[in-house]
Amino acid sequence: MADLDWLIRPIAHRGLHDTVNGLIENTPSAVEAAIEAGYAVEVDVQPAGDGQVMVFHDAALDRLTRGRGTVIEHSAAELKRLAFKGTSDRMQTLPELLEQVSGRVPLVIEIKSDWGERGAFEKMLASCLQPYKGLAAVMSFDPNATAAFGDAAPQRPRGLVAGSFRNPHYWGHLSPQRRFVMRHLLSAFVAKPHFVAYDIETLSAAAPWVWRSVLRRPLLTWTVKSNAQRERARRCADAMIFEGFRP
């Protein structure tokens, strides 16, 4: 595996978004703002109904767009026509994002998983990335998604996103046993990640400490939003995924 020193830098969470000023997360404008500021960019991807890789975070459309339903219920062409709230931007496919970035800054791409069977989407993602000459890594909370991407693109850096997994609103659909395994990074045996991104709120836990200090593997932390969190990230991680300020 190649050196991952290029990951050790501030990474703008979903682009350098700023809703007040019309920069909506994961949009071309938020990505461009991060590039102009010299930050690496983190974005989220998931499949459209026709299998194309879309740059968008939520499964549902209504929080950020004037559309209804879910991303998977629409084709890429339909999604690209949807209006975002508060901006003239439109949703991008991953190839469009890659063309926009064109290697100017590193990309960190998070797979949003439905926690079902994995493989087909990760192959499509790998296919999109195959011709890309810029620096890019892929990560996911779902260890099976990370593993499937590793099978499809073994030379592309991949990561595992983790935290306490205690919030039932987000993680109640997963069994306590599965959340325990993921919390303690035991799922790394499945995912085989090159790096870990761990929640800033629980960064002092044993598992991320062992990953970084004993195994000496790269540790990112998310999502850093305050000076206190920034100081914790400086002490306990190699790089931060941040939002709400400019490092």
Active-site residue list: 13, 57
Secondary structure tally for the chain: helices H, strands E: 10, 9
Alpha carbon dihedral 119, 124, 125, 131, in 10-degree steps, equals: 140
Alpha carbon dihedral 130, 12, 189, 167, in 10-degree steps, equals: -130
Share in percent of the chain as helix, strand, coil (round to 5): 35, 20, 45
Half-sphere exposure (Cβ direction) of 82: Cα atoms closer than 13 Å = 25
Q: Is 131 helix (H, G, I), strand (E, B) or coil?
A: coil
Which pairing describes strands 219-224 and 239-242: parallel, antiparallel, or unpaired?
parallel
